[in-house]
């Protein structure tokens, strides 16, 4: 073999290996989606069945049994908490970048980051006690309040890193022009940082959507979200593999679609802009 | 999204820009804009934490209201460290989960990052697809892993293993913690991959070519040349990964519920059990406070690492 041919072959082999490994990595998700289109008998068959007549029965069954209510709780908790986190977080990030001294801005950042790293289990006990005393157990409102706190650090550190990159001249122009702070934020800062803020909001939605801990501990009975539906489903009705797969597939569609769309921002959103 | 993109073009203040250059930078004014967020975070995280500390100094069982809320000092802590036979094994499981899942994710994530850093057809699509395990709802996916792949009767892994003559393994009863570690590592592999890929972008292309193209040399070159350049991405992947993996909850809840015995209880899971199964609020608060101390010790290095950068950013 010539050197040229060997190199071509080697390139091909590495590329093929990459495709195979990525396929193996996502295989569980693909197989789950496939299982959702099977009958229950086909779903537990050994050896596994790859070719079959796909049917939508399981998806139809999955969206019965109160799916709508679970969906409403998940959507409401994710959207409302993200909206509140944006309203609180954007002015905070603006103040950190444009008004505060370097030192207090850093102190604030340190505090913001440290709240995100507090283990949820540590505040579970007091939150549970408070929520019970306030008669708010099993109330969707509680989830919204907690998810807002969970996502506020994410919104602040992502917004901060985008605001740092805004051209100072434009902002100085706005100030000289007599824009109030509110006008500067709403008319100039937010539109200019819109792509980054959108990404931050989308990541916040994923976090709220995927939460299991607070949903299972604080709102299990009356206002459960979709992940609770799956957990409750299997413990109540035994294992209907195809139906669970169909339900699970429907639930993960949202975070997967959002995450792939906002892929570029994932790392930054998770690591507080330590890496871009 | 299309709407927001159009909006980007809004700020037009041409005349004013020229004048602005000579003025004093408008920073460092008195401001209250950060206060709502600050107060919100204090109320939702710091005050509950102080309450947890307060509860941890008391004996309090919600199921035995007659006992009341007597102050007991550090008794709860002594009980955990000395008398609770479950405590140290559970700390061990926690360490095993965090270290095990982190190391597996680091190895798998590094391999994927190196492979996906090569130019190839469909690379960005592949990268997107490879992030999926990280995006899926963890509790939901853990349940799917348990029943579709690790089930002793119809699981695909056992079916694959029978080809090489290995008899059916009841994964969650024979290797409960290891099974959970495997699932958690699968979820966090894309995270490591993304962080390392971001880091690889700052490594000169020629270095990588040399590191990857030739089979036998690749590993040596990676260790000697590429790895040292990726120090910071690895620090970040490890510190963030560790702290988030420490919080693993749904995966345990839906697969083993902490069992058999306490073999898959971790510190956060044990805290949850003490609070909401046995309603030992004093004990649960104590465990929660211990969890925070552990997390703070782990996070300290990272926070220093990240806030250091701000000064140069703003400069």
Q: What are the tens digits of pLDDT across the range B146-197?
A: 999 998 888 899 999 989 988 889 999 899 999 999 999 999 999 999 999 9
A contact residues 56-85, partner B, Cβ 8 Å cutoff: none
pLDDT at B8 (0 to 100): 38
The single residue listed with the structure tokens 């069982």 is B61
More confident residue, A260 or B308: A260
- Which CATH code for domain A65-271? 1.10.3720.10
User: Residue B309 is encoded by which pair of tokens?
Assistant: 């950068």
Distance CA A211, CA A152 (A): 15
Q: Is A276 on the interface with B (CB under 8 A)?
A: yes
How high is the mean pLDDT in each 10-residue block of chain A (276 residues)? Answer: 82 94 97 92 84 88 86 96 97 92 89 86 92 92 95 92 87 83 89 91 94 93 90 70 92 94 79 61
pLDDT at A10 (0 to 100): 86
The single residue listed with the structure tokens 């000289």 is A176
B289-B292-B298-B303 Cα dihedral, nearest 10 degrees:
-140
Which string of DSSP letters, residue by residue, matches A140-190? HHHHHHHHHHHHHHHHHHHHHHHHTTS-HHHHHHHHHTT--HHHIIIIIIH
Distance CA B93, CA B99 (A): 10
B152-B154-B156-B161 Cα dihedral, nearest 10 degrees:
50
B30-B32-B33-B34 Cα dihedral, nearest 10 degrees:
100
Is the distance from CB of A54 to CB of B167 less than 8 angstroms? no
SS (H, E, C) chain B: CHHHHHHCCCCCCHHHHHHHCCCCCCCCCCCCCCHHHHHHHHHHHHHHHHHHHHHHCECCECCCHHHCCCECCCHHHHHHHHHCCCHHHHHHHHHHHHHHHHHHHHHHHHHHHHHHCCCCCCHHHHHHHHCHHHHCCHHHHHHHHHHHHCCCCCCHHHHHHHCCCCCCCCHHHHCHHHHHHHHHHHHHHHHHHHHHHHHHCCCCHHHHHHHHCCHHHHHHHHHHHHHHHCHHHHHHHHHHHHHHHHCCCHHHHHHCCCCCCCCCCCHHHHHHHHHHCCCEHHHHHHHHHHHHHHHHHHHHHHHHHHHHHHHHHHC
State yes or no: pLDDT of B214 exceeds 60: no
Nearest CA in chain B to A260: B128
More confident residue, B259 or B216: B259
The model's confidence at residue B7, banded by pLDDT at 50, 70 and 90, is very low
Q: Is B114 on the interface with A (CB under 8 A)?
A: no
Distance CA B201, CA A20 (A): 23
Size of interface A-B (CB pairs under 8 A): 365
Report percent pLDDT > 70 for chain B: 82
**Chain B closest-CA separation from residue A33 CA (Å):** 10
Of B159, B291, B311, the CB nearest to A122: B291
The single residue listed with the structure tokens 């979820």 is B187
B contact residues 278-307, partner A, Cβ 8 Å cutoff: 281, 284-285, 287-289, 291-292, 295-296, 299, 303, 305-307
Domain boundaries, given as residue ranges, for chain A: 3-59, 65-271
Which DSSP letter does residue A52 get? -
Distance CA B78, CA B88 (A): 13
Distance CA A240, CA A257 (A): 26
Model confidence over B29-44: pLDDT tens digits? 678 899 999 999 999 9
**Chain A closest-CA separation from residue B312 CA (Å):** 10
A contact residues 176-205, partner B, Cβ 8 Å cutoff: 176-177, 181, 187-188, 191-192, 194-195, 198
Distance CA B196, CA B231 (A): 10
Q: For an interface test with A, which of B2, B5, B11, B281 has the most A Cβ atoms less than 10 Å from its Cβ?
A: B11
Reported pTM: 0.89
Distance CA B197, CA B194 (A): 5
Q: Is A166 exposed, middle or buried (0-12, 13-18, 19+ CB in 10 A)?
A: middle
Superfamily of domain B89-264: MetI-like (1.10.3720.10)
Distance CA B127, CA B117 (A): 9
Which DSSP letter does residue A31 get? H
pLDDT at A45 (0 to 100): 82
H/E element holding A39?
none
State yes or no: pLDDT of B121 exceeds 70: yes
Of B30, B135, B295, the CB nearest to A256: B135
State yes or no: pLDDT of B137 exceeds 90: yes
Is the distance from CB of A124 to CB of B288 less than 8 angstroms? yes
Domain boundaries, given as residue ranges, for chain B: 49-86+280-304, 89-264
Q: At what angle do helices B47-56 and B281-314 cross, to 10 degrees?
A: 140
The single residue listed with the structure tokens 């690379």 is B123
User: How much is the ipTM here?
Assistant: 0.92
Test B27 with A46 for CB contact under 8 angstroms: no
């Amino acid at each position: 073999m010539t050197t040229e041919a060997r190199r071509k072959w080697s390139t091909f082999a590495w590329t093929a290996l990459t495709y195979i490994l990525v396929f193996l990595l996502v295989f569980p998700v693909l197989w789950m989606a496939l299982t959702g289109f099977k009958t229950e008998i086909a779903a537990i068959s050994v050896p596994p069945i790859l070719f079959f007549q796909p049917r939508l029965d399981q998806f139809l069954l999955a969206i019965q049994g109160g799916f709508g209510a679970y969906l409403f709780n998940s959507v409401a908790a994710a959207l409302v908490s993200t909206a509140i986190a944006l309203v609180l977080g954007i002015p905070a990030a603006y103040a950190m970048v444009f008004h505060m001294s370097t030192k207090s801005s850093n102190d604030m950042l340190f505090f913001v980051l440290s709240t995100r790293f507090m283990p949820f289990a540590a505040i579970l006990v007091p939150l549970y006690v408070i929520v019970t005393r306030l008669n708010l157990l099993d109330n969707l409102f509680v989830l919204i309040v907690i998810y807002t706190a969970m996502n506020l650090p994410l919104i602040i550190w992502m917004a901060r890193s985008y605001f740092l990159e805004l051209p100072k001249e434009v902002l100085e122009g706005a100030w000289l022009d007599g824009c109030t702070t509110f006008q500067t934020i709403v008319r100039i800062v937010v539109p200019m940082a819109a792509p980054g803020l959108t990404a931050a909001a989308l990541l916040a939605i994923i976090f709220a959507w995927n939460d299991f801990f607070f949903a299972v501990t604080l709102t299990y009975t009356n206002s459960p979200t979709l992940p609770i539906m799956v957990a409750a489903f299997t413990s109540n009705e035994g294992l209907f593999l195809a139906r669970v797969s169909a339900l699970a597939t429907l639930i993960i569609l949202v975070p997967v679609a959002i995450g792939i769309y906002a892929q570029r921002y994932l790392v930054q959103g998770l690591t507080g802009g330590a890496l871009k | 999204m299309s709407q927001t993109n159009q909006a980007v073009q809004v700020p037009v203040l041409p005349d004013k820009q020229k004048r602005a250059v000579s003025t004093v930078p408008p920073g460092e004014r008195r401001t209250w804009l950060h206060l709502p967020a600050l107060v919100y975070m204090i109320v939702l995280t710091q005050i509950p934490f102080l309450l947890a500390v307060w509860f941890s100094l008391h004996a309090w069982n919600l199921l035995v209201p007659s006992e009341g809320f007597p102050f007991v000092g550090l008794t709860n802590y002594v009980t955990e460290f000395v008398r609770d036979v479950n405590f140290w094994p559970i700390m061990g499981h926690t360490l095993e989960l965090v270290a095990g899942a982190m190391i597996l994710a680091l190895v798998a994530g590094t391999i994927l990052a190196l492979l996906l850093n090569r130019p190839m057809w469909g690379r960005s699509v592949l990268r997107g697809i490879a992030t999926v395990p990280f995006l899926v709802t963890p509790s939901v996916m853990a349940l799917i892993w348990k029943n579709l792949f690790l089930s002793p009767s119809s699981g695909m892994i056992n079916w694959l293993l029978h080809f090489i003559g290995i008899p059916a393994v009841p994964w969650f009863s024979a290797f409960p913690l290891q099974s959970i570690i495997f699932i958690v590592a699968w979820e966090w592999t894309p995270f490591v991959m993304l962080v390392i890929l971001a880091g690889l972008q700052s490594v000169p292309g020629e270095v990588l070519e040399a590191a990857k193209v030739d089979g036998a040399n690749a590993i040596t070159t990676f260790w000697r040349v590429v790895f040292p350049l990726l120090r910071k991405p690895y620090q970040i992947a490890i510190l963030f990964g560790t702290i988030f993996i420490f919080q693993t909850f749904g995966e345990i809840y839906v697969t083993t519920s902490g069992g058999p015995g306490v073999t898959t209880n971790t510190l956060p899971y044990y805290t949850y059990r003490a609070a909401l199964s046995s309603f030992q609020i004093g004990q649960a608060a104590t465990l929660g406070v211990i969890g925070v101390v552990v997390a703070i010790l782990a996070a300290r290095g990272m926070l220093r690492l990240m806030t250091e950068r701000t000064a140069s950013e703003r400069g």
